[in-house]
Amino acid sequence: MPFVQPGPDPSNPLHTQPIEFVGSFPDPQVRVEPVLPEIAFIGRSNVGKSSLLNALVGRPGLARVSGSPGKTTLLNFYRVPGFYLVDLPGYGFARAGKAARAGYRKLVTDYLRQRQSLAGVVWLLDIRHPPSADDKEMQQLLIESGRPVLAVLTKADKLTRSGLPPRARDLAESLGLHQDQVQLTSSHSKLGITELATSIVAAVGGETS
């Protein structure tokens, strides 16, 4: 386990930027001013979306993290100079009722299909689990939406160093992706966080101000 320096990481382009919470919205067509490119975080409930967002910007308490799944139920917008990070509600929440699931599906589907300012999607998968039926359904929706997607494997700290590469290979294979198309991350050990921040900044045009 490497020693991790506390405080901002000077090589992470998002750690040196101011960031502000803009608001939580139930409407996928909400007009957020100023209009800027958006990078959305999507994945199963409890996969670690809010934690990843916090790690990316170096602000542990920014997005709400919870041990009980299904806490993020709205589109949460965070503004970095030049673009927005959007924390989407998680899918596959077993205890959600039928109506809540249908509402969720509509919110996310409409956002992915219609949102003009959506520049890219960070799709999170827990490295410990094979893709679920919900993950496969989301993959289909992402393909149909035609959006640029970066697949991110979360909670890499839960595996041993030697266990990581074969697991990443297996997961990439089961998703029909090349190994280079998946990014290993851990919000706890900070593995892959600077690399992901750099990819996000590149996806929105390489500018953070």
The answer to whether the beta carbons of residues 159 and 167 sit under 8 Å apart is yes
Instruction: Closer to Mg ion by CB, 65 or 149: give it.
Output: 65
The answer to whether the beta carbons of residues 158 and 139 sit under 8 Å apart is no
Stretch that binds ligand GTP, among 23-31, 42-50, 94-102, 160-168 (CB under 6 A): 42-50
Told to check if 72 binds Mg ion by CB under 5 A, we report yes
Within a 10 A sphere around the Cβ of 5, how many other Cβ atoms?
A: 9
Told to check if 186 binds ligand GTP by CB under 6 A, we report yes
Told to check if 45 binds Mg ion by CB under 5 A, we report no
**Site residues for ligand GTP, window 69-88 (CB under 6 A)?**
69-72
Query: Is 167 buried (19+), middle (13-18) or exposed (0-12) by CB count in 10 A?
Result: middle
Instruction: Closer to ligand GTP by CB, 51 or 183: give it.
Output: 51
Q: In the stretch 84-123, what mask flags binding to ligand GTP with x, by CB under 6 A?
A: ------x---------------------------------
Q: In the stretch 142-181, what mask flags binding to ligand GTP with x, by CB under 6 A?
A: ------------xx-xx-----------------------
Told to check if 50 binds Mg ion by CB under 5 A, we report yes
Residue 113 partner contact from Mg ion, ligand GTP, none using kind-dependent CB cut-offs of 5 to 8 Å:
none
Told to check if 183 binds ligand GTP by CB under 6 A, we report no
Complete edge-to-edge strand list for the sheet that includes strand 20-25: 20-25, 75-80, 83-87, 38-43, 118-126, 149-154, 182-184
| 3-state helix, strand and coil shares in percent for the chain, rounded to the nearest 5 | 35, 20, 45
Within a 10 A sphere around the Cβ of 133, how many other Cβ atoms?
A: 8
Cis preceding-peptide flag for 34 (omega within 30 of 0): yes
Q: CB neighbours of 204 closer than 8 A, spacing ≥ 6?
A: 37, 39, 82, 83, 119, 120
Residues that bind Mg ion (CB under 5 A): 49-50, 72
Residues that bind ligand GTP (CB under 6 A): 43, 45-51, 65-67, 69-72, 90, 154-155, 157-158, 186-188
